[in-house]
Structure 1
């Protein structure tokens, strides 16, 4: 009602200042326009906005538009016509909890989901997902590639969210081996002598894009766009990269001079809590087979990570090109994001599953048909995706979502809709693969405008096991825990209040 009153007031005020002869038609036309623009649903003759949601896997903010050395021309072009969120954060740095969280609009604690092996519907059978909500409102919803996590769960994907069967959504990264006609070209990345599943951890072969999952995902997404172009659609395209193994086609490795890539600083943060770390088993293998990479092996894996990013970017470019050539860009909201960040040797860590900034921070770009663009420092969370897209498309936002709409920020990049962002992670990182199948601790982390504060709490009784505070004004790479520094007392108090407001210390993690 307030929005209508404001619109009506502005119309009447402008009319009184105009030519009296124009008052009646002007009032009628503007009032009608106001009803259409601020009503709760689009008029019948106004086409529904489409949604193209593009999700990368294990991508930290390593894009050209974020100041990275990564060569990502297609995502940089998307950033030029959209809003780039400099400070967007995942709710847990692991595939299944993160994807379940932002696709259901609920935090991991709300879903009671913190591992890769539990499908979100096992504990939340009636939850309505983001694509399901669009489907319920008349949209054709399609899934190409990895959107929901799948491999470790009993239910594969979430068929009820989609109007047709999912494509290439059920697989494991370690089975992404090159498919070619004829002899397989040799692997030119030979320094790392271990595998990721069935595939070498680093692989550089002169093969076409479609030899790997993501090339086939892009090709299918282009086909689906042509199929759905005549109806309102919600198309989710999930790329498997830059997740390991580091096996992009050779031409993407060739984009980089390894010696000129950013040098690795593997330093462990001073004063950090031991629980903040993990054994990097995803990349370096579980004990007792853990590898200890040489500097040369580390450099090869980092090179491969950048090659994977450029490979993924090229596939995004194919999808965006098809969107434009089909004339769909002018009425489609495009969102690009990653499920979480990543470490490639920093802090002694490889992979994800921490509460550090490298893992918690994600790229997020939102391009709307009205062409508003810019870069925002507003804090945002992936859990905000659900209410943002319903808001942009004029759909009713479901009750009891944990996020908020970012549309005010999209309309004005100087605006902010939240003061903090939250991330969490259990210990052990893959606790469901232990004998007890229960965590021993949970890390709760809050990112304020200036600091990151993390508390590690015992799973059963909530006992505080350790705390970390990092000052991003002076320590953007989180190398010095200043939680016990007198100079940081005020920042510590403010961050602690924010964290306790969302995750009260009186409620143990096991009972949330």
Structure 2
């Protein structure tokens, strides 16, 4: 009799455990998602250790409260448009032909019918809503109309707000571009203190304030929500209130390390230099204004940090605090003097590495840094996996949900970053291999974290180069149709 009672007790206990696991799985499946995109943000965040002088208390607090730092995250492309198109569709640029800002994924034959992340979540019972930049904006066939990607959401709201710099002249920083400079940076590389010294008038602040209100006033028709928020700063121009500039006195700023002959060992197969001096670097070198550049970027990052604080405070005070996955990411890196360069693009570490943080309530530990090698393109399958959604067959990325649950495990499969057609970077956590038409680069980040010494022609690294070269795409999709309209400007009305 006692034996029978013992068996019955064991059976009851097993059913109880199974039930508990089922409830846990259901809870994970029902979690909301807060998807935060930050434009042109690099690793200059306290918990990422990119610059010890940066002041980002809200990023650091998020990490302390379970927002795990994905310390070795990288983008699939080092330009806004293709990076966002790639991560939102889950498809690599070399497979779609979306290589630049002037290609709308809806015009590309290989992506026009692919479900983007918000569409996929909406299809599986989520209420998707958005404000701020998530997709790169493009012109449309309708005069005066921009495509912000509003079609991807159940609910889309236009972000608004602006504070002009005090100086009415342009550039507001008083540093005129060089005669031979071309492109967006010629006029767009500007900064200055805004009128009123008040962040509440600015677009990003209004965006996070709106989101905070949603958390505390809505039930989203009883559905879990997928909320995508885009923060525009620190994208140029760097216009923020004076109080943020005051946080970084010029005489206290330390500049990133540079090497005068850094590009001398990056040569083509024919022995010719592959990279000229960056014209933006040249401009600020001539004006002796490098500290002003760094100050302006850091001021903008601290403004973004304040916005993040407003957003997370709103979430934490709401009923959704304990059942919302928060994932925060920058769309690519940004050079701030490294390699004597300002800006994004190309395939060096400062452009390819991105900030990424993820909080899964009850799963991610506090004050944790995960060193697994991940890519922005992996977010799509990871979020679907964490929320219990079926895998999407179009995804090229690799779910790192297992890594989220076990952040100390080895996770170093080589990852791919592309810049333009046929130019690729393969990175495995230690070595960075870059290949393009007419040249190669190879860096050992263990001994050369600044990528100052190109080992591509060093025979001692031949086997490493061969191993990484195996991950380079064998074919590259031709460039998809180009939209001649510049998404950074308003289309002219006919």
Q: Same fold by TM (over 0.5)?
A: yes
Cα 1:445–1:273, aligned 2, differ >3 Å: closer, same or farther? farther
Alignment map for 1:290-439 (pairs within 5 Å): 291=283, 293-294=285-286, 296-373=288-365, 374-426=368-420
Aligned equivalent of 2:456? 483
Aligned equivalent of 1:156? 147
Aligned equivalent of 1:61? 43
Distance in 2 separating the partners of 1:27 and 1:346? 58
**1:224 equivalent among 209, 214, 218:** 214
Q: 1:190 offset after TM fit, Å?
A: 4.1
Distance in 2 separating the partners of 1:186 and 1:329? 43
Q: 1:273 offset after TM fit, Å?
A: 3.8
The 3-state SS of whatever aligns with 2:370 is strand
Higher relative CO (Cα under 8 Å, sequence separation at least 6) belongs to: 2
Q: 1:97 offset after TM fit, Å?
A: 0.2
Distance in 1 separating the partners of 2:94 and 2:188? 34
Gaps of 5+ in 1: 1-15, 170-175, 285-289, 427-440, 458-464
Q: Tell whether the 8 Å contact from 2:403 to 2:409 is kept in structure 1 after alignment.
A: yes
Matched, 1:192 2:175: yes
TM-score (structure 1 length as normaliser): 0.81
Distance in 2 separating the partners of 1:471 and 1:332? 38
The 3-state SS of whatever aligns with 2:102 is coil
Distance in 2 separating the partners of 1:301 and 1:292? 8
For residues 471-501 of structure 1, give each alpha carbon's deviation from its aligned partner in whole angstroms, at most 9, with x where no partner exists.
Answer: 11111011111111122223222222233xx
Aligned equivalent of 1:107? 92
For residues 127-146 of structure 1, give each alpha carbon's deviation from its aligned partner in whole angstroms, at most 9, with x where no partner exists.
Answer: 10001111112211111111
Aligned equivalent of 1:237? 229
Distance in 1 separating the partners of 2:186 and 2:204? 18
Q: 1:160 offset after TM fit, Å?
A: 2.5
Distance in 1 separating the partners of 2:167 and 2:468? 53
TM-score (structure 2 length as normaliser): 0.83
Distance in 2 separating the partners of 1:199 and 1:355? 22
The 3-state SS of whatever aligns with 1:333 is strand
**1:252 equivalent among 229, 241, 244:** 244
Cα 1:495–1:479, aligned 2, differ >3 Å: closer, same or farther? same
Distance in 1 separating the partners of 2:299 and 2:467? 41
Matched, 1:455 2:435: yes
How many residue pairs match? The answer is 450
The 3-state SS of whatever aligns with 1:242 is coil
Q: 1:310 offset after TM fit, Å?
A: 0.6
Matched, 1:28 2:22: no
Cα 1:276–1:408, aligned 2, differ >3 Å: closer, same or farther? farther
Q: Tell whether the 8 Å contact from 1:191 to 1:297 is kept in structure 2 after alignment.
A: no
Matched, 1:470 2:453: no
Alignment map for 1:59-208 (pairs within 5 Å): 59-67=41-49, 68=51, 69-80=53-64, 81-123=66-108, 124-151=111-138, 156-168=147-159, 178=163, 190=173, 192-193=175-176, 201-205=190-194, 206-208=196-198
